[in-house]
Structure formats: structure tokens, C-alpha cells
Structure 1
């Protein structure tokens, strides 16, 4: 898998295999970039991923469009029996997740050094 960049706004680095995929998102996730994130997530599900981790540590802005992608991914993971994890610790990401109740629903974890897709 390869990265899906939108110049100057967001980059999504995809690592792993169908067993476990790690999406490392950097930049802004808003109405102009959320479709790219959704496409990468959809591809992971279509490929039969068993564990999907979305690392938002490098995200500097997250709006309702990005929250919608995460909620949709959570719903699809539950339906497909996929383990879905979201990693975040920055205020720009944690606050919108907390305000909407997604922080608890998604059981957001803290990124750790060497976190991987397995």
C-alpha cells in the first residue's frame, strides 16, 4: 500500500498487511481531506483487514468531516468483526473527539513509541 497525499494538507501513510494495517495521518483532516482518509479506510476494509489502527498523532486539525470518517469506520469495523483502534494525544484531535462523545466510543488510546499495526 502507498501513501495518499493531498499536497500541503494531509498525508496518510499506510503500513502493514491484511492482518493489521496502520494508517499514520499527518496534517489537517477536514471537508477537503476527509474523503481521502475515507478512501484509504474503505480500501483497508475491502482488502479484508483484521486490525485497523488510525494514528492521529500528527493531525493538527480535525473537523466534523474527519469525525464522521472515524465514526463510520468504527461502525463498519463492528459489523465486520475488525479490531479498530484510534491513537491520539494532541488537543487538536482529543477535544473534538471528547466533545462529540467519540473519544469514549472509540476507546482512543495514546500513541507509544514503536506502535505498530500488529
Structure 2
């Protein structure tokens, strides 16, 4: 798989294997970049992957548009029987997830900053 179209604000790298797909997101996920993340997530889920990992270690800003995309991905993954993992390391991502209740719903896996996928 390849990288999603990048903007100046966000980059989304996609790697795949037989066991699933890894999305490595870096930068800002807001109303202008969330549609790109949604498109990549939708594409991965449409491919019928068994597992999908979203690595938000490199995300520096996450607003309501990004939260909505993650919630929709969770809902679709649950409907399709896909194991969804979401990794986060910094307060700019973790705090909005906690405030909205998505931290527990998505079963966020906290990683050390810079660690990315374990």
C-alpha cells in the first residue's frame, strides 16, 4: 500500500500485510484534514482487512472532526468484525479522546512518545 495524499497539515502512511493494515498519521487532524483520514480508513475497511491499527503517535492536534472520523471507523469496524487498534501518546490526542468518552470506547493503547506501533 502507499501513502495517502498528504497536505501541509497531515500525512497518512498506509502499510499492509496479511494480518492487517497500519495507518501512521502525523500532523494535525482537523476539519480540513479529517476527510483524508476518513477516506483512507474507509478504503482499508472496504478491503475487508482482519485488523486495522491507527497510529496517532505523530498527531499534534485532534479536533471534533477527527474524533468523529475515529468514532465512525470504530462503528464500521465493529459491524464488519475488524479488530481496530488506536495508538496514542500525547496529550493533544489523549485529552480530547478522554473528554468525549472515546478513549474508553476505542480502547486506546497508550504508547511512549516516538514509540509508534509496538
- Paired residues for 1:11-22 under 5 Å: 11-17=11-17, 19-22=19-22
Q: What's the Cα RMSD here? A: 1.5
| Residue in 1 that maps onto 2:69 | 69
Please name the residue that 1:50 is paired with.
50
Deviation of residue 8 (structure 1)? 1.6
Contact kept? 2:89, 2:111, Cα under 8 Å: yes
CA–CA distance in 2 between the matches of 1:7 and 1:75?
26
CA distance in 2, matches of 1:92, 1:56: 10
Q: 1:35/1:18 Cα in 2 relative to 1: closer, same or farther (>3 Å)? A: farther
Name the count of aligned residue pairs: 116
Structure 2 residue aligned with 1:105? 105
1:80 matched to 2:77? no
Q: Which structure 2 segments of 5+ residues have no match?
A: none
1:18–1:44 contact (8 Å) kept in structure 2: no
Unaligned runs of 5+ in 1: none
